[in-house]
Every structure is written in C-alpha cells, then in structure tokens.
A = this chain, B = another copy of it.
Amino acid sequence: MELTHFNHAGKARMVDVTVKDETKREAVAEGRIVMKPATLELVKQGALGKGDVLGVAQVAGVMGAKRTWDIIPMCHPLLLTGVNLEFTVDDAGNAIDIRAIVKTTGKTGVEMEALTAVSVAALTIYDMCKAVDKAMTIEYIRLRAKSGGKSGNFVRED
C-alpha cells in the first residue's frame, strides 16, 4: 500500500491517469457548522428574507467545487457536469448540515470537489455570521458516497 501522489523519488506528482477510461462519476460529501442558538435563528430568518446566508453559501460552494483543481495541489482538472448543495437546519444540534453532490464524466473521481464544496460553504457561513458568533465550529466533513471509476463504489455507513 502506498500513496499514489508521489513519484519514485518520493516527490509529489499529479498521478498519471492518461490510460484510464472516462466514466460517469458522482460523489456526495457532508459536513456541518455548529453555532449559538441565537446565530442559528438569524440564519433561519435570513432564509425568510432579511439576508440569505445560505444562498450565498450555496453559490460559494458551487464555485469552490469548480475551482478544486486550482486549490488542491495534486488534483486533476475535471469538467464537472453537475454541482448541487443542500442545507438542513438541525435545531436540536444548533447546526446547519451541509451536503454537496458533484458529478462528472471523466478519468478521476469527484470526491475532492464534493469535499471542497462543503468546506467552502461552511467557511462562507462562518464569514457571514462571524460578526455575531466567533465560536462557530466546522465539523465532521467526510465523504458520504462515491460511484464510478475503477476503484468502484464507496458508501460510508456511520
């Protein structure tokens, strides 16, 4: 078992995927941002028209997904064919759950694009709310599922 992102000299490279087939690929990533109840209340009101925090985070997440190859050094450029984000308010947990679904037809998977979309959306929520709550935490960013490609499907169970 070895890390494929390194060449024989142990230096980082962008893995050679030239001979891989183009297949339909999809990845789902998730994460959450926990905040004070009063902050969550402001975000929920925003959804009602006083300032749409989640609307801005949605746009940031989509744009972040597209720019993943330019942010993560060894990521391959890919032509994303679909990006969507969903936000769910978790009142009990004082949190907003974030989910990103990314699709492509290409030679490598879109796990990083989905994880980046979630991260950028969470950071944007932090930025929009930090004037009232600096103690928010971004938590549990993980890959939920992926499909397509030679390594096959992956579904996280927990």
Contacts and interface: CB of A to CB of B under 8 A. Distances in A.
Interface of A: 1-7, 9-18, 20, 24, 31, 38, 42, 46, 49-56, 58-60, 62-67, 69-87, 103-107, 111-112, 115-116, 119-120, 122-124, 126-132, 134-143, 146, 154, 156
A52 B83 contact: no
Nearest to A20: B81
Nearest to A124: B72
Given A85-B13, A138-B31, A138-B141, A63 B55 contact: no
B139 A82 contact: no
Contacts of A135: 142-143, 156
Given A111-B134, A123-B119, A139-B139, A77 B74 contact: no
Contacts of A75: 127
Count of this chain's copies in the oligomeric assembly: 6
A129 B55 contact: no
A111 B126 CA distance: 10
A11 to B, nearest CB: 5
A55 B123 contact: no
Given A123-B116, A139-B139, A67 B70 contact: yes
Q: Which of A10, A59, A64, A75 has the most CB of B within 10 A?
A: A59
A77 B79 contact: yes
